[in-house]
Copies of this chain bind each other. A is one copy, B any other.
Amino acid sequence: MAGREAIILDWGTTNFRAYRFDAGGVLVAEHRAAAGILSIEKGRFEASLDREIGPWITAGTELFFSGMITSRNGWVETPYAETPASLEALATASVSRRHASGASMRFLPGVAMRHPAPDVMRGEEIQVFGACLPEEDAVVVLPGTHSKWVRHREGRIEAFHTFMTGEVFAALKGHTILGRLLPEGAAGGPEAFAAGVRHMQHHAGAGLLHAAFSARSKVLFNELAPTDIGEYLSGIVIGAEIAGGLALGWDPAAIRLVGEPALAARYAQAARIFGLVSEIAPADTTVRGVRRLAALKETAHDGRRS
């Protein structure tokens, strides 16, 4: 990126985020919009890009795309780099295109794991490289609709596992008897969240299908206020993810949390209940990851030139 203006895009299913850097590598502007790929007609991605940040783009700009914009339903589908996947492997598997202005565009790949069972991610991998030092041994947790637990070791993503935590929480709250017991607009307290995590911790063996029903039983026996069901259920589901993540056997001294601050704080609280130390990563992991990847490319190019 050094010497050229650059734009890093984190373009997902529901959100569009862009970061603009000057030729000296200094962040000079940020843009966010609810312009995720689900809201954009197939074939209209370049027009959407221009509508959001057109004035930033000149012939000399370098653009980096990360997130679901590189999936089958996005603009340019990139392959998956397979685990163990290094930052170099991501750079190699990225796909180049040219913008109408002449600017170069690089679409980053996702990462796939084949064994012991197939799993995929797209967008989180660059955040992992942004959240870790090159030679660090770390377990990175990225909470969300489809949370990821990722093991980074010797400069590579060695393995990872997806948990459908956010999506299952929404389905339980929106489409089961548990949600129907919850009064409209009820907020709930942090104590209910902790109670859910503890309940899940003590019933991890019997699993989520059993633990979730306790929301109903506890309301019947006045051990839980109906207004607290949402928070309690959030604790149950996040607790199930943490119990599952610990069962992977990676035995982390600490987990590094990458995500929105409010959600990361919720995970940190749940981890503490499980006796697990957590650290919250800086907010700009996508930018850090892409800058590491871009620097790498320049080194490689320099190598070829020498």
Contacts and interface: CB of A to CB of B under 8 A. Distances in A.
Interface stretch (A86-94, A213-221, A272-280): A213-221
A118 B217 contact: yes
Contacts of A243: 207
Interface stretch (A165-173, A256-264, A297-305): A165-173
A248 B162 contact: no
A64 B221 CA distance: 26
Interface size class on chain A is: 35 or more
Interface stretch (A40-48, A125-133, A198-206): A198-206
A209 B176 contact: no
A80 to B, nearest CB: 9
Contacts of A207: 163, 207-208, 240-241, 243-244, 247
Interface centre among A114, A207, A220, A244 (most CB of B within 10 A): A207
B244 A210 contact: yes
A118 B221 contact: yes
A268 interface: no
A171 B179 CA distance: 12
A212 B164 contact: yes
A237 interface: yes
Contacts of A112: 221
Nearest to A220: B120
Contacts of A203: 117
A146 B213 contact: yes
Contacts of A162: 210, 213, 217
B206 A248 contact: yes
A212 B118 contact: no
A161 B220 contact: no
A30 interface: no
Contacts of A177: 167
A55 interface: no
B165 A217 contact: no
B176 A168 contact: yes
Contacts of A114: 221
A110 to B, nearest CB: 10
A202 to B, nearest CB: 7
A148 to B, nearest CB: 10
A185 interface: no
Contacts of A244: 205-207, 209-210
A4 interface: no
B205 A176 contact: no
Contacts of A154: none
9 contacts: A117-B217, A118-B214, A163-B213, A167-B177, A168-B171, A168-B212, A206-B248, A208-B208, A209-B244
Given A164-B209, A207-B247, 15 more contacts: A114-B221, A119-B214, A120-B216, A120-B217, A120-B220, A162-B217, A164-B212, A168-B171, A168-B208, A168-B209, A171-B175, A205-B244, A206-B244, A207-B241, A209-B244
